[in-house]
Structure 1
Amino acid sequence: MSNQSATDNFDWMTDTPILIAGAGAIGSILGGMLQEAGHDVTLLGRRAHLEAIARGGLRISGLLGDRTVGGMKLADDPAKLGGRFGLILCAVKSYDTESIAAALRERLADDGVIVSLQNGLGNIEALIETFGRRRVLGARVIFGAEVPSPGCAHVTVFAQPVATGPAPALNLEDSPTLAERARAIAAMVDAAGVPTIAVDDIMPVLWTKILYNVALNPLGALLRLNYGALAADQDVRPIMDRAIEEAFAVARAVGVALPFSSAEEYQKFFYEQLIPPTVSHRPTMMHDLHVRGRTDISALNGKIVELADRLGLNAETNRMLTRLIRAAERAFENSKRTEKREKR
Structure 2
Amino acid sequence: MSDDPILIWGAGAIGGIIGAYLARAGHAVHMVDIVPEHVEAMRTSGLHIEGPVKTFTQVLPASTPQELTGRYSRIILAVKAHITEAALDMLIPHLAEGGYVVSAQNGLNERTIAARIGAENTVGCFVNYGADWLEPGRILFGNRAAVAVGELDGQITDRARDVHALLSVLEPEAVLTDNIWGYLWGKMGYGSLLFCTALTPDSMSDAMARPEHREVYARLGHEVMTLAAAEGVTPLGFNGFDPDAFRRADRAAIDASMDKMVAHNRKTAKTHSGIWRDLAVRKRRTEVDAQIGIMVELGRAHGVDVSAIARMVELIHDIEEGRRPQSAELVTEMLPICT
- Tell whether the structures are fold-level matches, with TM greater than 0.5: yes
1:69 paired residue among 58, 78, 84: 58
Offset, 1:269: 6.5
Shift of the 53–332 alpha-carbon distance from structure 1 to 2, 3 Å rule, reads: farther
- The 8 Å contact of residues 209 and 262 in structure 2, kept in 1 or not, is answered as no
Question: In the alignment, which residue of structure 2 is the partner of 1:86?
Answer: 73
Which shifted more, 257-266 or 197-206? Answer: 257-266
- The 8 Å contact of residues 23 and 29 in structure 2, kept in 1 or not, is answered as yes
Amino acid at match of 2:102: V
Shift of the 332–59 alpha-carbon distance from structure 1 to 2, 3 Å rule, reads: farther
Shift of the 129–236 alpha-carbon distance from structure 1 to 2, 3 Å rule, reads: same
Q: Deviations over 1:196-242 (max 9, x none)?
A: 2211221000011111110122x222212212101211232221111
Quote the Cα distance in structure 2 between the aligned partners of 1:267 and 1:87. Answer: 39
- 1:240 alignment partner, SS class: helix
- The 8 Å contact of residues 301 and 321 in structure 1, kept in 2 or not, is answered as no
Shift of the 195–86 alpha-carbon distance from structure 1 to 2, 3 Å rule, reads: farther
Instruction: Say yes or no: does 1:149 pair with 2:127.
Output: no
2:32 paired residue among 17, 36, 44: 44
Amino acid at match of 1:133: A
Q: Deviations over 1:269-295 (max 9, x none)?
A: 642443322235211011222324201
Amino acid at match of 2:264: P
The CA RMSD over aligned residues, in Å, is 2.1
2:186 paired residue among 204, 208, 227: 208
Identity %: 30
Quote the Cα distance in structure 1 between the aligned partners of 2:70 and 2:263. Answer: 44
Q: Deviations over 1:115-142 (max 9, x none)?
A: 1111112x11211122222110111110
Offset, 1:53: 2.4
- The 8 Å contact of residues 159 and 274 in structure 1, kept in 2 or not, is answered as no
- 2:179 alignment partner, SS class: coil
- The 8 Å contact of residues 230 and 237 in structure 1, kept in 2 or not, is answered as no
What TM-score results when the alignment is normalised by the length of structure 2? 0.85
Q: Deviations over 1:165-220 (max 9, x none)?
A: 1221xxxxxx536x331121111221355642211221000011111110122x22
Instruction: Say yes or no: does 1:258 pair with 2:246.
Output: no
Instruction: Say yes or no: does 1:187 pair with 2:176.
Output: no
Quote the Cα distance in structure 1 between the aligned partners of 2:130 and 2:4. Answer: 27
Question: In the alignment, which residue of structure 2 is the partner of 1:137?
Answer: 123
Shift of the 246–144 alpha-carbon distance from structure 1 to 2, 3 Å rule, reads: same
Within 5 A, what are the aligned runs for 1:1-344?
Answer: 14-45=2-33, 46-70=35-59, 72-76=60-64, 78-121=65-108, 123-160=109-146, 162-168=147-153, 176=155, 179-192=157-170, 195-217=173-195, 219-259=196-236, 260-263=243-246, 264=249, 267=254, 270-279=257-266, 281-290=271-280, 291-331=282-322
Amino acid at match of 1:208: G
Which runs of 5 or more structure 1 residues have no equivalent in the other structure?
A: 1-10, 169-174, 334-344
What TM-score results when the alignment is normalised by the length of structure 1? 0.84
Offset, 1:163: 0.6
Shift of the 312–53 alpha-carbon distance from structure 1 to 2, 3 Å rule, reads: same
Q: Deviations over 1:226-277 (max 9, x none)?
A: 1210121123222111100111111111111224544257735642443322
